[in-house]
Chain A
């Protein structure tokens, strides 16, 4: 009975994380379409929310990686999963408050690893085959690849359409961005919603609800994760619309198309083989690549530097918070009291940060500003 209460808390926490993931990443998904005026802001946000929802149903490879290949599902406990989620949420809130371009995905993996490391020891973590092979290396490869593909794609496009009338080219690529922007939203929903599905499945395995041998993701987990990320995208979009226009780097519609195409290609290819990568960093890599190929000075290299710094810091920082959260939760024993107390604390902290941020003005920037 008590473990069922903890499962409910863990599922609610995971869905809250999924909602904030959609909320946080809306800018990355819709910014390009809106800044090139390929789509009206309201339409772009609604379109992205629907395709985020649809994308979550396309594949379960990433969910299986998170549930099976990062930590040992046979050794994990519900409290460890809970602490990992809280570590990720706390890090996301902190970086959001200070306007740092952090990755929700890396925070989730980091929080989980930190909590499991303290709870079960290093043997419960698949450092080489899981963390290194399926998280760290793809995390480095994806933004680099998106940068190169985005850059090469825009050079090829300029070569093909360079002699056409600019108005015709702009009109054509704005039409194309309706497709490429939709594909990017689909890719985002596919990769990011699955991470939450993987964590919920991990909790269900720890509770004995789901077998650890086959790692089957229940249908209700897929539907609830899809709904949470789509709602987060939609709600987050309204906040983005208010600040859009002045903060997004100006790019032409061909660059927007190339960036969205490159980002989608890398995310979807990675999803197919089950790599849980940072969609934020991948999209940013493609945007920077399409800008740098045209003119190096067109890119805000400071923002690019911040992304790299955040990449290095996020995993260990979220791991530290996850480990600390596990320690605090265990002070109350192995029952439901610890998760309830910690949930109340994180909720209070989140409210405080949101209120303070509202008083001080919007956070500095998102990764897509690059």
Chain B
């Protein structure tokens, strides 16, 4: 009965948003570092296909981080 006075919808929103943003964006940034690092290593070793694959991963992960930040701040402004 007491749960009725607590906005569980808002609480759950905070929980899932925090988990997705806190872990997801952090992991995406880690993948960006991994992609950039490995792409440089394979590039130096003359393995262009692997370098391209990791470079693509790095760019996609960076785009995910930037997109998430812009989406999050715009969401706050609109709320």
Contact = CB atoms under 8 A, between A and B. Distances in A.
The secondary-structure label for the interface of chain A is helix
A173 B33 contact: yes
B76 A272 contact: yes
A176 B29 contact: yes
B26 A172 contact: no
Nearest to B77: A58
Contacts of A141: 11, 14-15
B51 interface: no
Interface in A152-206: 152-153, 156-157, 160-161, 164-165, 168-169, 172-173, 176, 179, 183, 186, 190
Interface in A302-326: none
Contacts of B11: 137-138, 141
B60 interface: no
Contacts of A132: 5-6
Given A61-B79, A132-B6, A138-B11, A262 B30 contact: no
B37 A168 contact: yes
Contact of A275 (B5, B14, B23, B36): B14
B19 to A, nearest CB: 6
Contacts of A58: 73, 76-77
Contacts, number: 125
B6 to A, nearest CB: 4
Interface residues of B, number: 35
B69 interface: yes
A357 to B, nearest CB: 36
Interface string A269-305: 1111111000000000000000000000000000000
A176 B5 CA distance: 40
A265 B34 contact: no
A257 to B, nearest CB: 7
Contact of A272 (B7, B38, B79): B79
Interface string A118-150: 000000000011001110011001100110011
B25 A59 contact: no
B34 A160 contact: yes
A70 interface: no
B72 interface: yes
A145 B6 contact: no
Given A183-B69, A271-B76, A157 B26 contact: yes
B45 interface: no
Nearest to A159: B30
Contacts of B7: 133-134, 273
B42 to A, nearest CB: 13
A266 B77 contact: no
B53 interface: no
B5 A145 contact: no
Given A141-B15, A156-B30, A273-B14, A59 B69 contact: no
Interface of A: 58-59, 61, 128-129, 132-134, 137-138, 141-142, 145-146, 149-150, 152-153, 156-157, 160-161, 164-165, 168-169, 172-173, 176, 179, 183, 186, 190, 254, 257-258, 261-262, 264-266, 268-275
Given A137-B6, A268-B21, 17 more contacts: A133-B5, A133-B6, A134-B7, A137-B11, A138-B14, A145-B14, A145-B19, A150-B22, A152-B22, A156-B26, A157-B26, A173-B33, A186-B73, A254-B30, A262-B18, A273-B14, A275-B10
23 contacts: A58-B73, A58-B76, A59-B76, A128-B5, A129-B5, A138-B14, A145-B18, A145-B19, A149-B22, A149-B23, A152-B23, A156-B27, A161-B34, A172-B37, A176-B33, A190-B76, A264-B21, A266-B18, A268-B76, A269-B13, A272-B17, A273-B14, A275-B14
